[in-house]
Amino acid sequence: MISSIALFLLQAPADEGFFNVVVEKFNQGNESGWMWPVLIALILGLAIFLERIITLNLADINTRKFIVDVQEALQEGGIEAAEELCAQTRGPVASVFQAGLMRSDEGIEAAEKAISAYGSIEMSFLERGLVWLSLFIAIAPLLGFLGTVVGMIQAFDDIEAAADISPSIVAGGIKVALLTTAGGLIAGIILQIGYNYCVSKIDRIIAEMEESSITLIDSIIMLNEGKQLVPDSGSDTSSDNN
C-alpha cells in the first residue's frame, strides 16, 4: 500500500496533491469500468469496519475495576446488589456476569452453564459482520484482477483492429489493466488491516470475559462459604501501622 502510494506521488507533478493523483489514476484505470466495483467494495467494507469499531469500543470496559466493583457489591449487598450493578454496566462482560448471578441461587453448576451459554451469544454479537468484511477483502482484489484481464483483452482487440503492434497501444492498454489490479490490491490491504484490528480487539474482549467469569464463580463460592471477597481497608491500615 505504501509503495503504491509512493509510486503515485512520484508519477505526479509537483504542484498536484495526493487526492488529485488518486483521482487521476482512478479515472485512467476506469476506462474499462472496473474501478467503480472496486471502490464500492472498499466503501462497503469500510462501513462495516467503522460499525464494528464503534460497537467494540462501546463493549470495551475496564474489566479489572468492574470485577472489584462486583466483588464489593457481593460483599456488601449480596447477589441482588451485584445484579443491579451488572444491569447498569454496558458490555458483554457485565451481561455474562448478570446471567451467571441470576442463576447462582440454583447452584454453581447452573451459574457456570448460564455464563457459558450467554458467553457464546455475546461472542456471536461481537463477531457479527466480520464475515461480510472478509467477503469484501476477497472480492476487491478479484475485481481488480478481473478488470486487468478484461483490459488486456481490450488491448489485444485494439492491436488486432489497428493491424499493427504499436507501443502506444500496447502500453496504454496494459497501464489501464494494471491500474485496476493496483486498485483492488490497495482496497484489499486496507480492509485486511481493519479486519485484523477488529479480530484482535474481539479476542482481547473474549479473553477478558472468560477470565473474569472464572473470578465471578470463585467469588460466588467464597460468598456462599462466608469468606471475605475484598480486603477490609481498615484492617490493612492497622496491619501497616503495626
Q: How far out from the chain centre does Cα 163 lie?
A: 52
* 179 backbone dihedrals φ, ψ, rounded to 5°: -65, -35
Residues 103, 111 contacting (CB under 8 angstroms):
yes
pTM above 0.95, yes or no: no
* pLDDT of the residue at 155: 74
Q: Residue 170's closest CA among 145, 152, 149, 150?
A: 152
Q: Is the pLDDT of residue 234 over 60?
A: no
Q: Which amino acid is at 229?
A: L
Of 21-30, 45-54, 183-192, 217-226, which gets the smallest average pLDDT? 21-30
Q: Residue 169's pLDDT band (boundaries 50, 70, 90)?
A: low
The string of pLDDT tens digits covering residues 95-150 is 999 999 888 888 888 888 999 998 889 998 999 889 999 999 999 999 989 888 88
Q: Which pLDDT value is given to residue 12?
A: 47
